[in-house]
Amino acid sequence: MTETHQTYETGEHRAADANQSPAGRYESYTLNVRPIALAGVGLTLLVGVSFLLMDWLFDYFSARQAQRGVPPMQFVEEQQPPPGPHLQVAPHADLLKLRAAEDAVLNSYGWVNRDAGTVRIPIDRAIELLAERGLPARDGAAAQSP
């Protein structure tokens, strides 16, 4: 018994050969190496020419700078390393010291501005004076209240 297959292009029926696919075609697995090799050689030449042009360009700029009499910049010798980080060694002790200094200011007498006559009094004494005398009122604010 002979098998027949319909072709895709023409639609005609023909006998199937043992060595052919149903469409009568096969895929070639051979690889054409020549275009790949030519692309690799071209890329290598392009990179080589680019390196040569860059070398020539750097020599040209170097000669031009020497001709102008400008000394080349030495960044490595002039730069100083940045200072190390200022880390807090004992944060708990620093916080206690800060709170003690704030308490000393809040609980002592002293001048804030001697020329203006502004003084600092302990906070407890300020609360007592405020309770005795009351809050100062503005003249305009007392007249406007109903």
Secondary structure class of 19 (helix, strand, coil): coil
pLDDT tier at 9 (50, 70, 90 boundaries)? low
By mean pLDDT, which of 32-46, 55-69, 71-85 is the weakest? 71-85
Section 82-106 average pLDDT: 91
pLDDT in tens, 76-87: 566 678 888 888
pTM of the model: 0.34
The 10 Å Cβ neighbour count of residue 134 is 8
Among candidates 20, 31, 33, 25, which has minimal Cα distance to 8? 25
